[in-house]
C-alpha cells in the first residue's frame, strides 16, 4: 500500500502504545548486502572511482555500515563518502580528483524530500547534468537491490516480538529506504499486514514520520522507536520519545532482549531512565565518527 504524509497525519491510535521499527539492518539483515553488493559497485561505476576503488569501498562501508552515519539517507551518505575520499592521503597521492557534487549538496540543503521522485522534479526543472547523473545512480542502486536482495529473513526474535507487541501497540515501519522496497521485503516474509503504516523515504525523514504519526496522539512514554542507527535515536529524541537500539553486530541478542525484557519494561513504564540510558551508551560506543584509517 502507498501512503502519503497526509495519511500519517490522519492516523488514529488503535492501541495504547506505539512502536516504530526501522527496516534495513534492524528488522532484516540487509544492510551488508545492499551496501557491499549494490551501493559500492554503483558508486564506483557512476562516479568513475575505479582508480581509487579500494578506498571508495572502504569509505562507503564505513559511512553506511560502521559509523555514526549508518542508516542515513543515500544522498547525504554519498556526499560523506566523497568527503572522506577527498581527505584521504592515499587518494591525494594518486592525484585523483574526487567529485565534489556541488549541485547535489545544494539540493540536499534546499530542504526538498530526499527521494528519487523529488530529485526527478529538480532534474526536469533545472536540466542539471550532475543531478541527472545522481538520479541515474540512485535508480541503478534500486535496480541492483531488486535483483540481488531477496530471500533474507528477519533477524531471530523479530517475528516473535511483533506477535507479542501487536495486541498492545500500533506498529509503524519507519525507514529511509524507498517505501515500495520496504513493502516488498515485509510482504515476502509475511509481516506486512502487521504494520499499520509503511513510511519510506518518500514521506520525509524518520523524525517527520514519528511526529506526524505518533507525537501528541500517545503519551510520550508510550512511544518507542527501535532502530540500528544514530539517525533512529535522533528521530526519537527530537520527538521526546523512547528509543531501543538494535546493536550492529549483536542484532539477534538485541532482539532476544527486546522480546524477553524490554517489551514488559515498556508496558509497565519502567524502560525510561537508567535502563534506556545504559542501552543507548552501549549503542553509541559501536558507531564511531572517525574512520579506522584516521585513528
DSSP 41-71: HHHHHHTT-GGGHHHHHHHHHHHHHSSTTTT
Query: Are 128 and 13 in contact, with CB atoms under 8 Å apart?
Result: no
Residues 142, 167, single domain; the answer is no
Residues 42, 134, single domain; the answer is yes
**Residue numbers of the domain that contains 21:** 5-29+154-284
Query: Are 233 and 243 in contact, with CB atoms under 8 Å apart?
Result: yes
The pTM score is 0.84
Residues 141, 225, single domain; the answer is no
Residues 101, 211, single domain; the answer is no
188 lies in a domain? yes
Residues 47, 91, single domain; the answer is yes
Could you tell me the three cell numbers for 1? 500500500
Residues 139, 240, single domain; the answer is no
Domain holding 174: CATH number? 3.40.50.1000
Query: In whole angstroms, how far apart are CA 244 and each of 52, 136, 189?
Result: 38, 36, 23
Higher pLDDT, 201 or 32: 32
167 lies in a domain? yes
Query: Are 190 and 153 in contact, with CB atoms under 8 Å apart?
Result: no
Residues 174, 54, single domain; the answer is no
293 lies in a domain? no
Mean pLDDT along residues 144-157: 94
Instruction: Select from 132, 148, 164 the last residue of a domain.
Output: 148
Query: In whole angstroms, how far apart are CA 74 and each of 34, 156, 191?
Result: 11, 27, 25
Matching residue, cell 515501519: 173
> Across-strand partners of 199?
174
pLDDT given at position 110: 96
Residues 184, 126, single domain; the answer is no
pLDDT digits (tens, 9 = 90+) for 28-72: 999 999 999 999 999 999 999 999 999 999 999 999 999 999 988
Helical segments of the chain, H only? 5-10, 31-33, 40-46, 53-65, 74-87, 89-93, 102-109, 116-126, 129-148, 158-165, 179-188, 206-213, 230-238, 251-257, 263-267, 274-284
Query: Are 282 and 63 in contact, with CB atoms under 8 Å apart?
Result: no
pLDDT given at position 178: 82
Higher pLDDT, 254 or 202: 254
The C-alpha atoms of residue 196 and residue 172 are separated, in whole angstroms, by 6
292 lies in a domain? no
* Backbone φ, ψ for residue 195 (5° rounding): -85, 125
pLDDT digits (tens, 9 = 90+) for 97-119: 999 999 999 999 999 988 899 99
26, 129, 39: which is closest to 75 by C-alpha? Answer: 39
Query: In whole angstroms, how far apart are CA 59 and each of 53, 77, 91, 243, 258?
Result: 10, 10, 11, 28, 32
pLDDT band at 181 (very low <50, low <70, confident <90, very high): confident
Matching residue, cell 533477524: 155
Residues 106, 142, single domain; the answer is yes
Residues 196, 207, single domain; the answer is yes
pLDDT band at 2 (very low <50, low <70, confident <90, very high): low
Residues 206, 171, single domain; the answer is yes
pLDDT digits (tens, 9 = 90+) for 157-180: 999 999 999 999 999 999 988 888
Question: 154: Cβ–Cβ under 8 A, 6 or more apart, which residues?
Answer: 27, 28, 189, 191
290 lies in a domain? no
Instruction: Select from 148, 163, 193 the last residue of a domain.
Output: 148
Instruction: Select from 130, 148, 166 the last residue of a domain.
Output: 148
How many domains does the chain fold into?
2
Mean pLDDT along residues 199-227: 94
Amino acid at each position: 500500500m502507498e501512503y502519503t504524509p497526509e495519511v500519517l497525519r490522519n492516523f488514529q491510535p488503535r492501541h495504547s502504545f506505539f512502536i516504530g521499527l526501522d527496516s534495513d539492518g534492524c528488522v532484516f539483515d540487509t544492510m551488508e548486502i545492499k551496501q557491499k553488493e549494490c551501493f559500492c559497485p554503483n558508486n564506483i561505476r557512476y562516479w568513475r572511482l575505479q582508480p581509487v576503488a579500494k578506498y571508495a569501498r572502504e569509505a562507503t562501508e564505513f559511512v553506511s555500515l560502521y559509523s555514526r552515519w549508518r542508516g542515513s539517507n543515500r544522498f547525504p551518505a554519498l556526499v560523506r563518502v566523497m568527503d572522506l575520499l577527498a581527505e584521504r592521503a592515499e587518494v591525494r597521492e594518486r592525484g585523483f580528483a574526487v567529485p565534489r557534487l556541488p549541485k547535489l549538496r545544494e539540493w540536499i540543503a534546499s530542504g526538498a524530500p530526499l527521494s528519487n521522485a523529488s530529485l526527478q522534479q529538480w532534474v526536469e526543472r533545472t536540466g542539471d547534468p550532475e543531478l541527472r547523473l545522481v538520479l541515474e545512480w540512485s535508480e541503478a542502486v534500486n535496480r541492483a537491490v531488486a535483483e540481488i536482495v531477496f530471500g533474507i529473513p528477519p533477524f531471530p526474535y523479530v517475528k516473535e516480538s511483533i506477535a507479542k507487541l501487536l495486541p498492545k501497540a500500533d506498529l509503524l515501519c519507519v525507514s529511509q529506504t524507498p517505501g515500495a522496497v520496504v513493502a516488498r521485503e515485509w510482504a515476502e516474509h509475511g509481516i506486512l499486514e502487521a504494520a499499520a503504516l509503511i513510511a519510506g523515504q518518500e514521506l520525509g525523514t524518520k523524525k517527520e514520520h514519528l511526529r506526524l504519526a505518533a507525537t501528541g496522539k500517545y503519551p510520550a512514554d508510550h512511544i518507542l522507536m527501535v532502530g540500528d542507527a544514530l539517525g533512529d535515536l535522533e528521530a526519537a529524541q527530537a520527538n521526546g520519545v523512547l528509543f531501543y537500539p538494535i546493536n550492529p553486530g549483536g542484532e539477534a541478542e538485541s532482539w532476544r532482549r527486546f522480546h524477553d525484557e524490554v517489551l514488559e519494561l515498556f508496558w509497565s513504564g519502567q524502560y525510561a531512565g537508567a535502563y534506556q540510558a545504559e542501552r543507548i551508551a552501549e549503542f553509541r560506543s559501536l558507531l564511531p565518527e572517525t574512520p579506522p584509517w584516521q585513528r
